[in-house]
Chains A and B, each alone.
Chain A
């Protein structure tokens, strides 16, 4: 379900089939929104990044193509609180492709009020070393 819009280009140069894989990502460092091209080699390793216009863009492209991570924020059901749900977040960014699996873990948890903001409610989710913590008192 997650975006992985990589595609393979097969070039026929001098009759030799050449493997090339490219992926487009949009840089989000500044409003300019450069279109970055990530080129892979045969071993699916990032070979080159094109299309950036600054150093930060290159860094973003590199991180985004080698180890894309995202903060996860959601809510957890809570008993006896002022509201039926309490907002939570991952205390560190999680690997992008684990977001849905993490959601499945979080969905099964039921908390009991009171909780304090910053309390760890799920430790080391999916062995990522990342904790799920509350973001407000309830």
Chain B
């Protein structure tokens, strides 16, 4: 049975590649695949016309939000407030709130609510709003596939395999922790080696203590928070080792989680060996040189029964990649524009799936932008149009529009090429965007592209007052000027006394600044100059950092 299914499956792929079928999800059941058989060509053409036969879909909706953590909650609420009626949040855990539910410490909400809340309280406020607004959600449901055509395949224990089709999708899957495997730490494989987040879940949700004598590798915020949590619960945290010469987490966490409890922070140190058979017995730590390589002779044995790893987070983008969303290698998340829209029209992304944030308040702000973007997309009916960018610098304008109704009117005469042509135009519209590139001293910038029209040609309901660039620097610097460069000229700059990779920085692009940037592009004298250091016709601004003396 399985092998037959497999053959059929590949037939469908061949057909899709030959341009015979569109909008057909490959993870269909047997009937669905049979219907896509080349013999029934009429059906396929009809499919093309209608956009697909959605009989298989359990539900059609306006907006699907994947992930019910802080990003998904804020995005869904914002979309509802802006008029999207049919919204479904799909959450894989047994409750909403995501990782906030295990972050029982305070420090959330200073920006959004102007008070200091714990993680569960912060989540609770959004969950309450969600329920007041009657936004639907599915729990214990894991999304296993999304497509360019916005078909979402999910699975849960009560309903089995589900298919949903949306007008727009918001990706809010968050991130996951890097593990021992990502670091290649040599040694045995005993029990007692956890990621910091796992330990946090064990203590705060499941009510277990993971160990008594603890070494923490990595000074990321979760590691620091866990150093304090474990100490309060009676464990002895022997040290926190950090590979880099500077701490990874927020300053306030270094002070309140380590300094308060006299926990040593060993900078430029790493774990080079793990000892113990059944249970961890100890680790060997060593100092590292400027290339982050352990220095021979500096090894030191530290007895411990638990090793926590707080060594970075990775945006969880398997679903995004499979749908064909362009991923920025610098952030590990989708390339987005200033509405948090990915490279696929109608698929938006927000929160830690885009880039790892240090404050949930920033996630909420970013997710509201995504929720607004998705609402605008849905309410403008853009999902029915093939090709075309909603807004370019001339304002609301559709390029290469083929309305679904137009296709229907033309009936079966519609040529496949025509649709392909429109798809190409969809790609072309990216040229209207101004790309933001990280220059010297900057690790990454989000959003990676901005659509000047959003600021310069406000159309009712689409105007923005400012676009916020969020970025991280690549090292610790003092007395710096961070400049935004267009065509080699500084258009805006800000001074900072101290910047660190652990603290996200931001720069606002106002309408005035955008005008200044666009003027620079127009002022470029010769074509040669215009093409210098960049692809033909591609506009880009560069964010860079320079140290200044005061």
Contact = CB atoms under 8 A, between A and B. Distances in A.
* Residue picked from A70, A72, A73, A89, most chain B C-beta under 10 Å: A73
A75 B251 contact: no
B118 interface: yes
A35 to B, nearest CB: 11
Interface string A13-56: 00000000000011010011100000000000000000001000
Contacts of A1: 231, 261-262
Interface in A94-137: 96, 99-100, 103, 117, 135-137
Contacts of B121: 117, 135-136
Interface stretch (B4-12, B294-302, B496-504): B496-504
A71 B104 contact: no
B118 A73 contact: yes
Contact of B260 (A3, A77, A83, A135): A3
B104 A75 contact: yes
B251 A135 contact: no
B15 interface: no
Contacts of B339: none
B254 interface: yes
B328 interface: no
Contacts of B499: 31
B120 interface: yes
Interface string B475-508: 0000000000000000000000111100100000
A25 B500 CA distance: 19
Interface of B is mostly: helix
B183 to A, nearest CB: 27
B254 A26 contact: yes
A84 interface: yes
A70 B262 contact: no
B207 A33 contact: no
Contact of A31 (B119, B204, B234, B251): B251
A77 B205 CA distance: 10
A134 B119 CA distance: 12
B440 to A, nearest CB: 20
Contacts of A53: 497
Given A3-B260, A73-B118, A136-B120, A32 B498 contact: yes
B232 A77 contact: no
Contacts of A75: 104, 203-204, 207
A28 B118 contact: no
A28 B250 CA distance: 9
Nearest to B253: A28
Nearest to A4: B262
Nearest to B502: A31
Given A74-B104, A117-B124, A136-B101, A89 B233 contact: no
Given A71-B106, A135-B104, A136-B124, A83 B118 contact: no
A34 B112 CA distance: 26
Interface in B12-28: none
B206 interface: yes
B259 interface: yes
Given A28-B252, A31-B500, A136-B124, A85 B118 contact: no
Interface in B121-150: 121, 124
B255 interface: yes
B189 interface: no
A9 interface: no
B259 A135 contact: no
Contacts of B256: 28, 70
B260 A2 contact: yes
B260 A96 contact: yes
B207 A85 contact: yes
B293 interface: no
Given A87-B104, A136-B101, A136-B124, A31 B503 contact: yes
B225 to A, nearest CB: 10
A99 B231 CA distance: 11
A126 B499 CA distance: 41
B251 A28 contact: yes
Contacts of A83: 205-207
A70 B101 contact: no
A85 B120 CA distance: 13
Contacts of B105: 71, 73
A73 B100 CA distance: 14
Interface in B225-281: 229, 231-234, 251-252, 254-256, 259-262
B116 interface: yes
Given A3-B262, A73-B106, A33 B205 contact: no
A10 to B, nearest CB: 24
Contacts of A96: 260
27 contacts: A1-B261, A2-B260, A3-B261, A25-B259, A26-B259, A28-B252, A31-B251, A31-B500, A31-B503, A33-B251, A70-B256, A71-B116, A73-B105, A73-B106, A83-B206, A83-B207, A87-B119, A89-B104, A100-B232, A103-B232, A135-B104, A135-B120, A135-B124, A136-B120, A136-B121, A136-B124, A137-B124
Interface of A: 1-3, 5, 25-26, 28, 31-33, 53, 70-75, 77, 83-85, 87, 89, 96, 99-100, 103, 117, 135-137
Interface of B: 101, 104-106, 116, 118-121, 124, 203-207, 229, 231-234, 251-252, 254-256, 259-262, 497-500, 503
Given A26-B259, A74-B232, 17 more contacts: A3-B259, A3-B260, A26-B255, A28-B251, A28-B255, A32-B497, A33-B251, A70-B256, A70-B260, A75-B204, A83-B205, A84-B207, A100-B232, A103-B232, A135-B118, A135-B124, A136-B124
- Kindly list the 3 A-B residue pairs having the minimum CB-CB distance in the complex, ordered from nearest: A87-B104, A84-B207, A136-B120
